[in-house]
Amino acid sequence: MTTSSPAPVPPIDGQRSPRYAGFTTFARLPRIGDAPQHDVAVVGVPFDTGVTFRPGARFGPGAIREASRLLRPYNPALDVAPFDSVQVVDAGDVDCNPFDITTALREIEAGVAALTEGGRPVVVLGGDHTIALASLRALHREHGPMALVHFDAHLDTWGPYFDTPVTHGTPFRVAIEEGLLLKEHSAHVGIRGSLYSAEDLTDDAELGFTIVHAREFHTTPFTEIIERISSRVGDAPLYISIDIDVLDPAHAPGTGTPEAGGLTSRELLELLRGLRDKHLVGADVVEVAPAYDHASITAVAAAHCAYDLVSIMSGRVSA
């Protein structure tokens, strides 16, 4: 992977232009056409045709970008200035069909593939969770099967809903069926809430996943949980998928299928930081539905997750 040369085009300086002014891009980064090339891309996927309950995640990318205006250029938790040594850009949104899931997934896959050519990492801002499948398909072209760390209240390995095989409740079942994932290196984290039946859990185990349930955060030391996830991933190329409903509704009210008893945003960010040394090839932050948000609580959490993901990626690219 190449490191940018000359110096990367930086985000707009908050000391020269107030952070609430000007065009809205993620963390006030340059738009993709305003940099000579990119090492890491952030891209929006405004798609929510796969939802089973409250719609509105199509407005997630815009809300996350707006909330990201406050992000500053140095990330002390990871000791990295993510925009200093590599070129990070906002690649805009993928235009995808709002009426046909199959067509949309093809368009999203093509959009993500164009950005990740040559193995460059990407952070995808959703959109509902269906889009993770397209993103995995695109990254599989570069990396082959990947480890998945999937933060979510929900398993998202269910079967068809209303005879529709690809929805936001099914992306990781399809991903396993398509051979996109290394199941022995993959985990769901934060799972909770009601299921259709106990078989949902045995079906998921048969697909090969392991689960860190939300309630385990009460009984297991945090460092042990991090170690469990980290050793599961090992050295495999890693994709991190963050469904913002992994957070408790108190920390993320703006989402379509909220479940009580979730993680705090502090816990989630710390879990991400625990994966800093992994070979992170791609990530998404999905299911932000601003219509149900209050004071941008959910969008802020999502923006901070995306910032830590970019920080981990740029640390690797520049190393």
Ligand X SMILES: N=C(N)NCCCC(=O)O
Q: Kindly state the tokens that stand for 158.
A: 């269910």
CA nearest neighbour of 243 among 115, 130, 112, 74: 130
The Cα 14–Cα 21 span in angstroms is 9
Residues flagged as binding site for Mn(2+): 129, 152, 154, 156, 243, 245
Applying the rule CB under 6 A, the residues between 43 and 72 that interact with ligand X are 52
| Phi and psi, residue 280, nearest 5° | -80, 110
Instruction: Output the CA–CA distances (angstroms, integers) from residue 99 to 29, 92, 104, 119, in the order listed.
Output: 31, 21, 8, 31
Out of 38, 120, 168, 183, the only residue in the binding site for ligand X (CB under 6 A) is: 168
Rounded to whole angstroms, the Cα distance separating 17 from 308 reads 24
Give the x/- contact pattern for ligand X in 169-188, rule: CB under 6 A: x-------------------
Cβ-based nearer residue to ligand X, 243 or 267:
243
Residue span 111-130 as binding mask against ligand X, x where in contact by CB under 6 A, dash where not: ------------------x-
Q: What is the number of the residue whose Cβ is closest to ligand X?
A: 169
H/E stretch holding 267: helix 265-273
As measured in angstroms, the least distance from the Cβ of 153 to Zn ion is 5
- 155-184 footprint of Zn ion as x/- string (CB under 5 A): -x----------------------------
Select 69 or 168, whichever has its Cβ closest to ligand X.
168
Choose between 169 and 315: whose C-beta lies nearer to ligand X: 169
Which listed option, Zn ion, ligand X, none, makes contact with residue 52 (CB within 5 to 8 Å by class)?
Answer: ligand X
Residue recorded with tokens 């068809």:
160
Among residues 287, 301, 303, 312, the one that binds ligand X under rule CB under 6 A: 287
Taking the least distance from each CB to Zn ion, the nearer of 156 and 204 is 156
Task: Return the residues of window 138-157 that contact ligand X according to CB under 6 A.
Answer: 154, 156
Interface pattern 116-135 for Zn ion (x via CB under 5 A): -------------x------
Q: Is 154 in the site for Zn ion (CB under 5 A)?
A: yes
Cα separation values, 193 from 97, 200, 217, Å: 31, 12, 15
Q: Which residues contact 67 (CB under 8 A, 6 or more apart)?
A: 296, 299, 300, 302, 303
Residues 263-302 that bind Zn ion (CB under 5 A): none
Instruction: Report the alpha-carbon distance of residue 10 to residue 101 in Å, rounded.
Output: 36
Going through the chain in order, the beta strands assigned E by DSSP cover 40-45, 88-93, 122-126, 147-151, 187-191, 210-213, 237-243, 279-286
Choosing from 39, 204, 243, 267, the residue that interacts with Zn ion (CB under 5 A) is 243
Give me the residues paired with residue 44 across strands.
93, 125
Which residues have a Cβ under 8 Å from the Cβ of 113 and sit 6 or more positions away?
Answer: 138, 141
Q: Is 158 in the site for ligand X (CB under 6 A)?
A: yes
The verdict on 259 binding ligand X (CB under 6 A) reads no
Residues of this chain that interact with ligand X (CB under 6 A) are: 52, 129, 154, 156, 158, 161, 168-169, 243, 245, 257, 287
